[in-house]
Amino acid sequence: MKITAIRPYPIWVGDRNQLIVKVETNEGIHGWGESGLSSRELAVMGAIEHYREFLIGRDPMLTGALWQELYRSQYFEGGRVLTAAISAIDIALHDIKGKTLGVPVHQLLGGKQRTSIPTFGCVRADDPNTLIASARRAMDAGWDCLRLGWKSDAVSPYEPRAHIAEIADWMTQAREALGSAVMLGVDYHHRLSVAEAASFCQKMPGGTLDFLEEPIRDETPEAYAVLRRMTDIPFAIGEEFSSKWQFLPYIEGGHTQFARLDICNVGGFTEAMKVAGWCEAHYIDLMPHNPLGPICTAATVHFSAAVANLSHVECWETPGEDMARQESPIFVKRMKLVGSTYVVPDEPGLGVEIDERALKDAEPFRISEMPHLRRKDGSYTNW
């Protein structure tokens, strides 16, 4: 079997672009992958075009060797653009391998260790009463782990100090209203400094939050080490990490308690399984990032089925959330929730089917930017 074509499809689905990638072979078996570098899809497509030049004619079954060649085939190794491209290709190659051997992808990773995948629900609102009511609806629908947040997340100017005071109060009210049994977290999306993040944690009674996601930017692991010493709230970090090497200081240093690994950013199945084993050795549970389309969800489900140390997978199909990125007619077969869990599939490959005629007629790629936030003084800050 040989690779005959690699075709990236940048399309607009629901509320954002998706970059899905098809790898074709001379035996008529193909695989699908997805890239996770949202809003920089054109850069990833450029990397895929470079990789395509030497992948045509290669054996798609050699996933480990091809991963190493993709990563090591340039002097300037690594980086999010390259690993997002590698991720999409690696996922598609595993889809091909599973279909060729007649087994689900999780079988290639050691077999399933669970039959269903628990998820955490995403609940957002712009006032605490609505947030609590929405959280109760999600709990009634079966979720026992929720990430709470604010719906209007692109408001500028943005002042972190005023915001942390408000959200700390919301979280305190939510814990009191929802009880102690439900697992609660909040995502600060890199918006804070070390001092601001510590202040946010200190404004809430002990036990309010079970995890705090991405409170500060990740470029300086030492800053996370300082913050780790200033609060006892568990951290969930890593959705933007692009290799096992980027995870290294956070795992070895004990900076995070949940690894927010993104299979479409970290390097696909090949790299994700290495990070999972490393986390297991340090008693760190996985809480995979899953904000994209059905291919990302399917890949995440197969990966999550095969690891020992899973907490919950991110899920945006909670009551009140619009999941048009999952429900597009392009995807004629995709993973669907049963209550608050995904059932682990047993058909060969990923288990995702795409209507390629609909794909070719899909809404085309749009230039799309994440919000550019400013503070009141006019300076730029993190979204």
SS3 131: helix
Helix or strand holding residue 41 (H, E): helix 41-55
Q: In whole angstroms, what is the distance from residue 251 CA to residue 280 CA? A: 10
Q: In whole angstroms, what is the distance from residue 316 CA to residue 58 CA? A: 37
Strands 3-13 and 16-25, sheet pairing? antiparallel
DSSP state of 72: H
Of 94, 106, 289, 302, the active-site residue reads 289
Helix, strand and coil content of the chain, in percent to the nearest 5, comes to 40, 20, 40
From residue 98, alpha-carbon distances to 5, 87, 292, 342 in Å are 18, 17, 22, 19
312 is catalytic: no
Q: In whole angstroms, what is the distance from residue 1 CA to residue 280 CA? A: 35
Contact 66, 86 (CB under 8 A): no
30 is catalytic: no
From residue 345, alpha-carbon distances to 108, 114, 300, 317 in Å are 13, 11, 12, 19
88 Cβ neighbours under 8 A, 6+ residues apart = 8, 19, 20, 21, 33, 34, 35, 44, 48, 264, 268
Query: Can you name the residues that pair with 123 across neighbouring β-strands?
Result: 148
Q: In whole angstroms, what is the distance from residue 345 CA to residue 357 CA? A: 25
Residue 338 tokens, joined: 């049963």
Of 189, 190, 302, 312, the active-site residue reads 189
Residue 124 tokens, joined: 């957002």
Residue 59 tokens, joined: 């054996």
Question: What amino acid is encoded at 308 in this protein?
Answer: A
Question: What amino acid is encoded at 322 in this protein?
Answer: D
SS3 362: coil
Q: How many CB atoms lie within 10 A of CB 280?
A: 14
Question: What amino acid is encoded at 128 in this protein?
Answer: P
Which are the catalytic amino acids?
Answer: 189, 289
